[in-house]
Amino acid sequence: MARALSVRGLSTVFPSPQGMLTAVDGVDFDLAPGEILGLVGESGSGKSVTLRSILRLVHAPGRVTGQVLWGGRDLLALGESEFRKLRGREIATVFQEPMTALNPVLTIGRQIDESLRAHTRLDRRARRARAIELLDLVGIPAPGTRLGDFPHQFSGGMRQRAMIAVALAGEPELLLADEPTTALDVTIQDQILKLLLGLRARTGMGMVLVTHDLGVVAQSCDRVAVMYAGRIAESGPVAAVFAEPRHAYTRGLIGSVPRAGTERRPLLSIEGTPPGLGERPSGCAFHPRCGFATDICRTAAPPMENVAPDRLSACWNHAAVAAAREAA
Ligand SMILES: Nc1ncnc2c1ncn2[C@@H]1O[C@H](COP(=O)(O)OP(=O)(O)OP(=O)(O)O)[C@@H](O)[C@H]1O
Ligand code: SF4
Ligand SMILES: [Mg+2]
């Protein structure tokens, strides 16, 4: 039975000499079984901390509150051994930094094999064949000769691809992927995205994909959630959000995406920089950079509202933003 992921009121704080710093601030989102959600936003907006919080990888003195419902069970409340059982099998991860995810003292082949052994019923020969196939699918040349290599014998890009192979070996129901293809060249990126989409089509794997690349979101995601200063600013189906953003921040982000063609460009031509954790502005955190800001934006945080079917936005002036898009 495929499961849905429901994140409710997820908040993550880190103590500092200036007091508690809030990196993730009441994040809610839903992921239907087999759905791919793109999580985007500028550097420091809390994307990685959100994924790490879901996976219980934020350690003390950091503190996570809220609920992460996976098929109705709250991952944040599960006992350690129960949680460990489902991590890797039901839920796999790919991180920004591959060296933290790969085991330095085990060969790449062994790490893929362990995942296959734990999560599939393949025999030894079939596992070896599948390991080679997986390395080939993520673009490792001559994969049969690389199974015996240790992570340090791989280049950075190859390690990242090997980490993806390890994560996918167990055919997880859900993949949480943090910039899985960012450091890779475009051909390999496309190959890996195809692999992920193929796996979704075949096994119904759902995915949360953190990326800076709106082209990747357009190409591979069903829905998108835009983060700013630890909160979700807007979410909805990718095509609808890109065609008609309902949050001034989203409008700024996609203003930097070429309208025609598939040319890839990183996010961002919004003036100014996002606030640091200790200096979040009052009201809507985006107001100092926002061309749509009105008085209320400076004093009151906008609530998340249903602004259209299947679309949520937390912007006081979402109607004006939508109208401006039409006029543009
Ligand atoms: N362990 C920690 N202690 C204190 N602050 C932290 C910790 N981990 C993350 N932060 C802060 O939380 C904020 C959000 O960080 P996060 O890594 O989630 O950003 P991000 O959206 O993933 O950015 P990027 O696009 O650069 O990867 C940042 O200001 C970061 O410095
Ligand atoms: S709430 Fe106000 S400041 Fe925030 S994005 Fe919307 S218009 Fe801009
Ligand atoms: Mg990050």
Nearest CA owner, ligand 1 atom 28: 44
The rounded distance, in Å, linking the Cα atoms of 277 and 9 is 18
Q: Which of 306, 182, 174 is nearest to 246 (CA)?
A: 306
Instruction: Tell whether the model's pLDDT for residue 101 goes beyond 80.
Output: no
The stretch 18-23 carries a mean pLDDT of 92
The stretch 113-137 carries a mean pLDDT of 92
Give me the percent of the chain exceeding a pLDDT of 70.
94
pLDDT at residue 328, rounded to an integer: 55
The stretch 130-141 carries a mean pLDDT of 91
The rounded distance, in Å, linking the Cα atoms of 228 and 205 is 27
The stretch 105-133 carries a mean pLDDT of 93
What atom in ligand 2 is closest to the CA of residue 233?
5
Residue type, 28: D
The rounded distance, in Å, linking the Cα atoms of 317 and 296 is 10
Helical segments of the chain, H only: 47-54, 80-86, 98-101, 108-119, 124-137, 156-169, 186-203, 214-220, 238-243, 248-254, 295-299, 318-327
The rounded distance, in Å, linking the Cα atoms of 67 and 21 is 20
Pocket test for ligand 2, best of 290, 298, 305, 318 (most atoms within 8 A of CB): 290
- Structure token pair of residue 321: 């933003």
The rounded distance, in Å, linking the Cα atoms of 101 and 317 is 42
The model's pLDDT over 181-237, given as tens digits with 9 standing for 90+, comes to: 877 788 888 888 888 898 899 889 999 999 988 989 999 999 999 999 999 999 999
Residue 265's pLDDT band (cuts 50, 70, 90): very low
The stretch 80-105 carries a mean pLDDT of 85
The finding on whether 46 has its CB within 6 A of some atom of ligand 1 is: yes
Instruction: Tell whether the model's pLDDT for residue 325 goes beyond 70.
Output: no
pLDDT at residue 242, rounded to an integer: 94
Provide the β-strand partners of residue 4. none
Instruction: Tell whether the model's pLDDT for residue 284 goes beyond 70.
Output: yes
Ligand 3 centroid distance, CA of 150 (Å) = 26
- The domains located in the chain, with CATH, are 5-90+172-327 (3.40.50.300)
The rounded distance, in Å, linking the Cα atoms of 110 and 177 is 22
pLDDT at residue 263, rounded to an integer: 47
Let me know: does 92 contact 168? Beta carbons within 8 Å. yes
What atom in ligand 2 is closest to the CA of residue 302?
1
The rounded distance, in Å, linking the Cα atoms of 21 and 91 is 28
pLDDT at residue 70, rounded to an integer: 96
Instruction: Tell whether the model's pLDDT for residue 320 goes beyond 70.
Output: yes
Give the β-pairing of 5-16 and 91-94: unpaired
Question: What average pLDDT does the chain have?
Answer: 90
The finding on whether 62 has its CB within 6 A of some atom of ligand 1 is: yes
pTM value is 0.91
Instruction: Tell whether the model's pLDDT for residue 266 goes beyond 50.
Output: no
Give the β-pairing of 36-40 and 311-313: unpaired
The stretch 136-159 carries a mean pLDDT of 91
pLDDT at residue 269, rounded to an integer: 59
The model's pLDDT over 149-166, given as tens digits with 9 standing for 90+, comes to: 999 999 888 888 898 999
Residue type, 242: F
**In whole angstroms, how large is the CA radius of gyration of the chain?**
20
The finding on whether 283 has its CB within 6 A of some atom of ligand 2 is: no
pLDDT at residue 275, rounded to an integer: 86
